[in-house]
């Protein structure tokens, strides 16, 4: 169990994602923090990541791996593509 509130995770992710985003930008992609719900951090991958078959690998092996190192080893990261905002869970924490 993650000992942080969704708000705490959101703030931590917001602070760390710009450092991780450098990898995404190096592939001409974009990344945006959408919110947090029950220990899951939701991001939007755009640019060249939009529809890329490797976007799941980027989410899990780059973004999630690094955030687990920096914040908590049990958090999860899920990505959606632009225009799929209706796939986000209700009650998502965002500022």
The two tokens of residue 30 are: 């974009």
Distances (CA, A) of 35 to 6, 26, 49: 8, 24, 19
Token pair listed for 33: 């923090």
In this structure, of 12-21, 57-66, 77-86, the range with the lowest mean pLDDT score is 77-86
Please compute Rg for the chain using Cα positions: 12
CATH of the domain at 18: 3.30.300.130
Residue 93 covered by a domain: no
pLDDT at 82 over 90: no
Instruction: Classify residue 91: in a domain, yes or no.
Output: no
pTM of the model: 0.93
Lowest mean pLDDT, pick from 5-9, 38-42, 82-86: 82-86
User: For residue 94, is it within any domain?
Assistant: no
pLDDT digits (tens, 9 = 90+) for 13-56: 999 999 999 989 998 999 999 999 999 999 999 999 988 889 99
On whether residue 24 sits in a domain, the answer given is: yes
Please state the domain count of the chain.
1
| Residue indicated by tokens 């986000």 | 88
- Please give the residue range of the domain that contains residue 31: 6-81
């Amino acid at each position: 169990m993650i000992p942080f509130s969704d708000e705490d995770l959101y703030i931590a992710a917001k602070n760390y994602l710009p450092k991780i985003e450098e990898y995404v930008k190096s592939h001409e992609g974009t990344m945006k923090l959408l919110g947090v719900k029950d220990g899951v951090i939701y991001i939007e991958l755009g640019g060249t990541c939009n529809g890329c078959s490797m976007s799941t690998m980027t989410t899990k092996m780059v973004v999630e791996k690094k955030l687990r190192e920096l914040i908590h080893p049990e958090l999860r990261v899920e990505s959606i593509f632009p225009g799929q905002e209706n796939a986000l869970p209700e009650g998502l924490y965002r500022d």
